[in-house]
């Protein structure tokens, strides 16, 4: 039974789902890094929010870990490259807390417009300072959204309902989508110059870090009010303090900080400054949503291999997973065969599917092909990082789905291009379960790809098979299965043998010297 650690405070709904699905779990929120490191090796899954830091050394200690599930959106607390390198799938729940976070941004916008926290504190202190707290209306004002994805779009919708004009800077927002939502797509400088209120809704990346730098803050309208419910690090906090003090910025509300938990900050106590302790996602509704989603996703993955909302591996539905699984084995074997037989650096791989395979999700099949293909040259390649590693090495990948009728009920073909040219291997599933090679370099040859094997390409000549058998016998190598194929009488022929035990180099040299031999290779599956 797979075992999951819930390492952050989460709605009890997550535990209830693990129990219902038959997944063992422990709930241990608030562990120190060392405590987490000491126990993480016991778990197959890890369910987190933003407090647990899934760093490279935690992942190093996580010897059984298969999946990290983030009950929420941001995954900047997870070292995704390290997780990918270890074959750990990282998932989030991209929509469960979006409405709640958008509402928090709107709430903070109103809090700034009417100075609600200060007015509350003053009133409860018995001061009744009616003349001190003069606010501004939001109606008719311009809201500038930096980032118009899930949360930004919901904020836009709410702001339009409040009769605001909404402009957005988001390089990935299409003009059509902007028109659909009823907002105006602008460049950042235009937004800074026009907005009365600015709200941020981007992840923290190299392109968004310090997007509201001192220079950009100075480009804003005097009296602007700024809300950040996305990630600390999007705004230069020191410059924000300076411009609040100078009166250029009328108000700023931060739910997120560069350093969290933010027990202290130069911004604290600054007039016009409001803060909340990363509460964007903290509503009953959002926490129930994300807890249910993350527990379902982790359970699905550990129990059936279904992949939902993963950030480092293609998705695979629970319904597809059992149908795709046998192809994963076939794909990895064909990739491994093609990789071992490739001569020179691989520059391109084409994965073709025909028959029943053409109806499936091809992405995981491609990942498995590339995993097999790279296995001889990389110890760390796995289904999660294979395509990424291939791209880093400038290996082009193409996927082709054929609707045509074939000799086989289902067929997968892998074609590898090197400086020596293109070579392809193809396989099928016997009984839709068992992987079997059916074609090698365009020659029909059927074989199971298992254990230790010997590949020989030769000219089709009488007596050749006997010489191979003798050479193996003399080297005391027992032949398990023997598969033959040829391009035509007297043409190129292929021998594929499964043998007991390893094939030593001297035997390979002997075989290479046989008359008519073009290529010899010991293969491992
Ligand atoms: N405060 C909280 O508790 C809380 C809760 C939920 C989400 N968040 C954070 O809110 C952020 C947004 O979440 P989302 O669900 O809307 O994400 P999303 O991926 O749907 O949207 C992000 C948008 O940012 C845009 N973007 C990326 N780079 C950009 C750049 N350089 N300039 C401008 N726009 C850029 C993207 O195109 C995308 O449209 C995330 O960082 C998430 O972690 C915070
Ligand atoms: O990215 C998110 O989903 C938010 O930052 C929420 O974080 P939390 O789960 O720690 O509240």
Q: Is the CB of 73 under 6 A from ligand 2?
A: yes
3-state SS of the chain: helix, strand, coil percent to 5?
35, 25, 40
Answer yes or no: 263 catalytic.
no
Beta-bridge partners for 356: none
Nearest alpha carbon, ligand 2 atom 5: 74
Are 432 and 488 found together in one domain? no
Q: Which two tokens stand for residue 395?
A: 């290996």
The confidence score (pLDDT) of residue 407 equals: 85
Query: Residue 23: its pLDDT value, please?
Result: 98
**Residue 110 domain-assigned?**
yes
Give the residue from 449, 467, 500 where a domain finishes: 449
- Does any domain span residue 476? yes
Q: Is residue 309 part of a domain?
A: no
Residue 380 half-sphere exposure, CB side, CA atoms within 13 Å? Answer: 12
Closest CA to 154 of 73, 99, 203, 108: 99
Distance CA 161, CA 467 (A): 85
CATH classification of the domain holding 89: 3.40.50.720
Q: What is the CA radius of gyration of the chain?
A: 30
Among 419, 449, 479, residue at a domain's last position: 449
Active site residue 524: no
Instruction: Look at residue 171 in the predicted model and tell me its pLDDT.
Output: 87
- Residue 117 and residue 246 in one domain: yes
Nearest to 203 by CA among 149, 153, 159: 149
Q: CB-based contacts of 59: which residues, under 8 Å, 6+ apart?
A: 65, 79, 82, 83, 86, 88
Domain hosting residue 241, numbered range: 98-275
CB atoms inside a 10 Å sphere around CB 421 = 9
Say whether the ipTM exceeds 0.90.
yes
Out of 202, 234, 290, mutate this one to test ligand 1's pocket (max ligand atoms within 8 Å of CB): namely 202
Are 488 and 440 found together in one domain?
no
CA 233 to chain centre: 23
Joined tokens for residue 510: 């002997």
Whether residue 436 sits in one domain with residue 348: yes
Residues with CB under 6 A from ligand 1: 73-74, 94, 97-98, 101, 146-152, 169-172, 201-203, 205, 207-208, 229-231, 255-256, 278, 280-281
The answer to whether residues 294 and 78 touch, using CB atoms and an 8 Å cutoff, is no
| pLDDT score, position 206 | 86
pTM above threshold 0.95: no
User: Which residues lie below 8 Å from residue 425, measured CB to CB, with a gap of 6+?
Assistant: 334, 337, 338, 341, 413, 414, 437, 439, 440, 441
- CA angle at residue 371 from 324 to 350, to 5 degrees? 80
Q: Of ligand 1's atoms, which has the minimum distance to the CA of residue 104?
A: 1
Confidence (pLDDT) at 375: 85
Q: 249 pairs with which residues across the strands?
A: 224
Residue 439 lies in a domain: yes
422 and 323 share a domain?
yes
Residue to probe by mutation, ligand 1, list 8, 9, 50, 73, most atoms within 8 Å of CB: 73
For the CA atoms of 75, 80, 86, 88, the dihedral, rounded to the nearest 10 degrees, stands at: 30
Distance of alpha carbon 384 from alpha carbon 387, whole angstroms: 8
The distance of Cα 137 from the centroid of its chain, to the nearest Å, equals 42
Q: Can you tell me the distance from the alpha carbon of 467 to that of 456, in angstroms, rounded to the nearest whole number?
A: 12
Same domain assignment for residues 429 and 468: no
* Tens digits of pLDDT across the chain (525 residues): 999 999 999 999 999 999 999 999 999 999 999 999 999 999 999 999 999 999 999 999 999 999 999 999 999 999 998 998 899 999 999 999 999 999 999 999 999 999 999 999 999 999 999 999 999 999 999 999 999 999 999 999 999 999 999 999 998 888 899 999 999 999 999 999 999 999 999 999 888 999 999 999 999 999 999 999 999 999 999 999 999 999 999 999 999 999 999 999 999 999 999 999 999 999 999 999 999 999 999 999 999 999 999 998 888 988 889 999 999 999 999 999 999 999 888 999 999 999 999 999 999 999 999 999 998 877 778 889 999 889 888 999 999 999 887 789 999 999 999 988 999 999 999 988 899 999 999 999 999 999 999 999 999 888 999 999 999 999 999 999 999 999 888 788 999 999 998 899 999 999 999 999 999 999 999
Could you tell me the CATH number of the domain that includes residue 348?
3.30.1330.90
Do 89 and 214 lie in a common domain?
no
Return the bridge partners of 412, or none.
Answer: 353, 427
- Rounded CA-CA distance 324/105 in Å is 42
Instruction: Count Cβ atoms below 10 Å from residue 517 Cβ, excluding itself.
Output: 17
Q: Are residues 509 and 414 in the same domain?
A: no
On whether residue 280 sits in a domain, the answer given is no
Q: What is the CATH number of the domain that holds 464?
A: 3.30.70.260
User: Residue 154 domain-assigned?
Assistant: yes
From 406, 439, 313, 418, select the one nearest 365 (Cα to Cα). Answer: 313
Given a contact cutoff of 8 angstroms between Cβ atoms, the answer to whether 412 and 421 are in contact is no
Give the whole-angstrom CA distance, residue 450 versus residue 436: 10
* 107: phi then psi, degrees, rounded to nearest 5: -60, -45
- Based on the fold, state whether residues 115 and 262 are members of the same structural domain: yes
Output the CA–CA distances (angstroms, integers) from residue 26 to 47, 211, 264, 291, 302, in the order listed.
Answer: 10, 40, 33, 15, 16
Q: What is the rounded CA–CA span in Å between residue 212 and residue 189? A: 11
User: Is the CB of 280 within 6 Å of ligand 2?
Assistant: yes
The answer to whether 353 and 402 are in contact (CB under 8 A) is yes
CB within 8 A of 420, min separation 6: which ones? 343, 344
Length of the chain equals 525
The bridge status of strand 479-486 relative to strand 492-499 is antiparallel
Residues 149 and 212 in one domain: yes
How remote is the CA of residue 476 from the centroid of ligand 1, in Å?
A: 64
pLDDT value at residue 263: 97
Question: How many domains, the chain?
Answer: 4
Q: Indicate whether 296 and 393 sit together in one domain.
A: no
- 184: Cβ contacts below 8 Å, ≥ 6 apart: 165, 166, 167, 168, 178
Write out 468-519 in H/E/C secondary structure: HHHHHHHCCCCEEEEEEEECCCCCEEEEEEEECCCCCHHHHHHHHCCCCEEE
Do 292 and 262 reside in the same domain of the chain? Answer: no
Intra-chain end-to-end CA distance of the chain, in Å: 28
């Amino acid at each position: 039974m797979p075992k999951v650690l819930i390492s952050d405070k989460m709605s009890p709904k997550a535990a209830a789902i693990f129990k219902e699905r038959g997944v063992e779990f422990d709930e241990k929120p608030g562990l120190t890094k060392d405590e987490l490191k000491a126990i993480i090796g016991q778990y197959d899954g890890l369910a987190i929010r933003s407090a647990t830091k899934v760093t490279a050394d935690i992942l190093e200690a996580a010897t059984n870990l298969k999946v990290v599930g983030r009950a929420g959106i941001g995954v900047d607390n997870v070292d995704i490259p390290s997780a990918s390198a270890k074959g750990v799938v990282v998932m989030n729940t991209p929509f469960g807390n979006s409405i709640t976070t958008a509402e928090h941004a709107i709430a903070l916008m109103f809090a700034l417009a009417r100075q609600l926290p200060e007015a509350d504190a003053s009133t409860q202190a018995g001061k009744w300072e009616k003349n001190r707290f003069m606010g501004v209306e939001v109606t008719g004002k311009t809201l500038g959204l930096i980032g118009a994805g899930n949360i930004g779009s919901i904020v836009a919708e709410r702001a339009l309902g409040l009769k605001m004009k909404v402009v957005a800077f988001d390089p990935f927002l299409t003009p059509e989508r902007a028109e659909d939502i009823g907002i105006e797509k602008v460049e950042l400088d235009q937004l800074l110059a026009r907005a009365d209120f600015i709200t941020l809704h981007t992840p923290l990346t190299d392109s968004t870090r310090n997007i509201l730098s001192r220079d950009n803050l100075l480009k804003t309208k005097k009296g602007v009010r700024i809300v950040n419910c996305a990630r600390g690090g999007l705004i230069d906090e020191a410059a924000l303090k300076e411009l609040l003090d100078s009166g250029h910025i009328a108000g700023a509300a931060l739910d997120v900080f560069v350093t969290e938990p933010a027990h202290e900050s130069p911004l604290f106590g600054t007039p016009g400054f409001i803060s909340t302790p990363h509460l964007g996602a903290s509503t009953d509704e959002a926490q129930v949503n994300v807890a249910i989603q993350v527990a379902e996703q982790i359970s699905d993955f550990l129990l059936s291999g279904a992949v939902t909302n993963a950030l480092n591996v293609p998705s695979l539905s629970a319904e597809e997973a059992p149908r795709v699984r046998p192809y994963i084995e076939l794909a990895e074997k064909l990739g491994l065969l093609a990789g071992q037989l490739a001569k020179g650096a691989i520059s391109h791989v084409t994965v073709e599917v025909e028959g029943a395979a053409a109806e499936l999700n091809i992405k995981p099949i491609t990942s498995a092909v590339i995993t097999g293909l790279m296995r001889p040259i990389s110890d760390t390649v796995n289904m999660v990082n294979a395509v990424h590693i291939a791209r880093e090495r400038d290996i082009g990948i193409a996927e082709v789905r054929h609707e045509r009728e074939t000799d086989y009920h289902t067929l997968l073909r892998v074609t590898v291009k090197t400086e020596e040219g293109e070579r392809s291997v193809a396989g099928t599933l016997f009984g839709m379960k068992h992987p079997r090679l059916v074609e090698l370099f365009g020659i029909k040859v059927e074989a199971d790809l298992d254990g230790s094997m010997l590949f020989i390409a030769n000219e089709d000549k009488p007596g050749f098979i006997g010489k191979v058998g003798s050479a193996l016998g003399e080297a005391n190598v027992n032949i398990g299965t023997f598969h033959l194929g040829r391009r035509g009488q007297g043409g190129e022929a292929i021998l594929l043998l499964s043998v007991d035990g390893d094939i030593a180099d001297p035997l390979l040299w002997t075989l290479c010297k046989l008359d008519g031999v073009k290529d010899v290779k010991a293969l491992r599956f």
